[in-house]
Amino acid sequence: MNPKGSLRFKLAIGFITITFPLVCLLIYSNFTASNSVREQAAESNKNMISLYSNQIQTSLGIEANFLYDMTSHDADILSLNKMVYNSSDYTLTKMRILNSLSRYNRFDNSIDIQFAYSKVYRDLIHTSIKADSYEEAIVIKQCIQGILDMAQPESPLFRGWKTVSCGDIYGLVRIVDSGFGVYLGAWVQLNHLMIPLELIQLGGEGFSALANPEGRLIAGSFEIGGFKDPPRINSDARYQRLKGENGTYVVVSNPIKSTDVTLIAFIPEQGMLDNISRFREVIAWIPLFAFLLLLLYLIYLNSIILRPMNALLKGMRTLKRGDWAIRLNNSPSREFHAVTETFNDMAHQIQELKINVYEEQIRTHKAELKHLQLQINPHFLLNSINVIYNLAQLKNYTVIQAMCLNLVKYFRFTTKTSQPFVRLSEEMEHMDSYLCIQQLRFPGRITFEIVIDENAKQVPIPPLIVQPFIENAIKYGFDFMEEPFHIEIQATLDTDQRFCRIRIVDNGCGFSPEMLESLQSGRYFHQTNDQHLGIWNSYHRLQLLYGNTARLNFDNCLNSGALIELDVPIEVSS
């Protein structure tokens, strides 16, 4: 039965068809509303950090202008390398340069350190270093000294503020070349540059940070968000959503011009969505409410339609299996009550009719079985008379006498077969007589062997059920054979002792492919011609006596010869 055609399946599909678009619409509305809030919050915060980016850019631009002015107009910078190193004039010039830098540094404290560097004498003149410890100040000084020693006129440090790393300390460096072998520059530590940004109102657990050109955070309190490793930022995106251990953040960024760093703002998503939390809760409950409502309706339909329909279908399947005593309970629905009463009346009438038909079939089967059983005797009698006739032509009277003696045994057995079953041992004695007759007919051409398990001798089987297979084996099996034709009959019980297997094997030419396919498919037994009447007779006798429990298998042996296996149930159904 195809489940797709059932009423239950169609109702389920209808239920899904109604609920799925509704749920999708509500989820889409929720998603759109949340997205809209995120975009508005991201746009607002992006404008705010753009303002702070411009302030930082302006501050750094003022510092760069000061360095350019000093390199262009300060006579001490222009004459420093012309003096003798460590002479009194050189020392006084260094002091004047340091005083100029210090005066401006006191005026603009956004820079951590300003310096002048003599490329010729490798002499670094700098203001006091803003650092958290003396060791940190030494590290920064040595780092700047190393950068200036390695600096070349084509270096990016001469074209803008660039990020440099001094161990774990990141900072921005700007260098200006005076053209007379003296460099002026400034350094600001990124963490110090971040201090004014802490005043940005990013709400709750929000924070700001700075990222390098690769998008990796190099300054800021990103550990506030519970990020195990500094996340990478896509500065080209309008905004991003990043999830940390402390929640999900909406991330917006804005590059600081004239530098290679980007200002990043992390805004807690929970905070920006607080305003629509009640709306989101309502939307979240609507699909559940709709689902429960439709589920109750489905339960109601199941009670008034599906359950009575299922009971009716179950009753029909039970009737189909042959249980005619099935009766259905009354349904509260008026329509199904009428259907139930009609079904019960129909089942009662069919039960009575089936009993009458079954009894008539039993009588018919018994008569047909008797008819089939009686067909065996004249069939074999004709073959036997033909054998005796051939022997008489040869005037072999001794063989005729032996054959007549075996025929007497043979027909004495057939006269006792008015009963439907005989013992297997009696059937095999009968086969022995039959094969002895065939040996007398074809001296030296036929050998045989009959092997019966001791526990199988008393098994009841239909009389003359094996003989047609032996007849056909002798008739078709050994034509044109140079060696004697050998036939072997074995009778054993299976391990469960439910079946007796009779196995017939010969060394003849076996079944042709066409005949074997016809026998194995069962098509042969539905033919109505008179060829191979014995095999056809045996098959139908087995069907009448045992139904489908008896098995008849045909095959060919690996080397040559036919193989027939007959499985007969030991317990015969009455």
- Give pLDDT, residue 501: 93
Strand 169-177 to 162-166 pairing: antiparallel
Kindly report, residue by residue over 455-469, the tens digit of the pLDDT.
Answer: 899 999 888 788 888
* 3-class secondary structure, 391: helix
Exposed (0-12), middle (13-18) or buried (19+): which is 437, by Cβ within 10 Å?
A: buried
Q: Which of 228-232, 418-422, 532-536, 554-558 has the highest mean pLDDT?
A: 554-558
Give residue 355's pLDDT: 65
For residues 217-244, average pLDDT: 75
The confidence band for 232, taking pLDDT boundaries of 50, 70 and 90, is: confident
- Phi/psi zone of residue 391: left (φ > 0), alpha (ψ -120 to 50 degrees), beta? alpha
Written as one letter, the residue type at 437 is: I
Q: Residue 354 is encoded by which pair of tokens?
A: 């089936």
More confident residue, 332 or 97: 97
* pLDDT confidence of residue 533: 63
CA distances from 88 to 79, 95, 469 (A): 14, 11, 135
State mean pLDDT over 439-453.
86
Q: Which residues contact 85 (CB under 8 A, 6 or more apart)?
A: 121, 123
Domain locations along the chain: 1-321, 322-372, 374-569
Q: Read off the pLDDT of each residue in 205-228 and give the average, rounded to a whole number.
A: 76
Residue 198 has pLDDT above 80, yes or no: no
What is the three-class DSSP state of 246? coil
Closest CA to 565 of 490, 455, 460: 490
Out of 55-64, 398-407, 439-448, 461-470, least confident range: 398-407
Q: Is the pLDDT of residue 360 over 70?
A: no
> What is residue 452's predicted lDDT score, i.e. its pLDDT?
93
pLDDT band at 521 (very low <50, low <70, confident <90, very high): confident
Which pLDDT score, from 0 to 100, does residue 167 have?
83
Token pair of 178 as six digits = 């005076």
Choice between 412 and 154, residue whose per-residue pLDDT is larger:
154
The answer to whether 489 touches 451, Cβ cutoff 8 Å, is yes
pLDDT at 568 over 70: yes
Bridge-based pairing state of the strands 207-211 and 182-189: unpaired
Pair of tokens at residue 251: 């991330």
Q: What is the pLDDT of residue 490?
A: 93
| Residue 175 confidence (pLDDT) | 92
Q: What is the dihedral of CA 404, 407, 408, 409, to 10 degrees?
A: 130
pLDDT score recorded for residue 563: 92
Computed from CA positions of residues 432, 435, 440, 444, in that sequence, does the dihedral angle turn out positive or negative?
negative
pLDDT in tens, 471-509: 888 877 766 677 888 999 999 998 888 899 999 999 888
List the single range of 202-211, 235-244, 258-267 with lowest mean pLDDT.
Answer: 202-211
pLDDT digits (tens, 9 = 90+) for 529-552: 555 567 777 888 788 788 888 889
How much of the chain, in percent, has pLDDT values that exceed 90?
A: 8
- Residue-level pLDDT at 372: 47
* Structure confidence at residue 226 (pLDDT): 66
C-alpha 133, offset from chain centre: 60
Average pLDDT over the chain, rounded to whole?
A: 78
pTM assigned to the model: 0.45
How confident is the model over 367-409, as pLDDT tens digits?
Answer: 554 554 555 556 556 766 777 777 788 777 777 777 788 777 7
In angstroms, rounded to a whole number, what is the distance separating the alpha carbons of residues 470 and 514?
Answer: 20
Which CATH code of 3.30.70.3450, 1.20.140.10, 3.10.105.10, 3.30.565.10 fits the domain covering 374-569?
Answer: 3.30.565.10
Q: Output b/e per residue, 379-409; b: 16+ Cβ within 10 A.
A: bbeebbeebbeebeeeebeebbebbeebbeb
What is the per-residue pLDDT for 574? 42
Mean pLDDT to the nearest integer, 354-376: 55
Q: Quick one: pLDDT at residue 190?
A: 86
Question: What integer pLDDT is reported at residue 115 of this predicted model?
Answer: 92
Per-residue model confidence (pLDDT) at position 333: 66
461 - beta bridge partners? Answer: 422
Going by C-beta distance under 8 Å and a sequence separation of 6 or more, which residues neighbour residue 225? Answer: 205, 207, 242, 244, 245, 246, 247, 249, 266
pLDDT tier at 213 (50, 70, 90 boundaries)? confident
Minimal CA–CA distance to 22: which of 266, 286, 271, 228? 286
pLDDT score for 366: 54
What the block records as the tokens of 419 is 């009963």
pLDDT class for 343, splitting at 50, 70, 90?
confident
Q: Is 522 helix (H, G, I), strand (E, B) or coil?
A: coil
**Eight-state DSSP code of residue 198:** G
Distances (CA, A) of 438 to 387, 428, 435, 477: 8, 15, 5, 13
Q: Map 264-324 to HEC letters.
A: EEEEEHHHHCHHHHHHHHHHHHHHHHHHHHHHHHHHHHHHHHHHHHHHHHHHHHHHHCCCC
CA dist., res. 193 & res. 345, Å (int): 95
**Is the model more confident about 53 or about 278?**
53
Per-residue pLDDT tens over the stretch 318-339: 777 767 677 777 766 666 677 7
Does position 26 have pLDDT exceeding 80, yes or no?
no
- Percent of the chain past pLDDT 70, that is, above it, reads 77
pLDDT for 454 beyond 50: yes
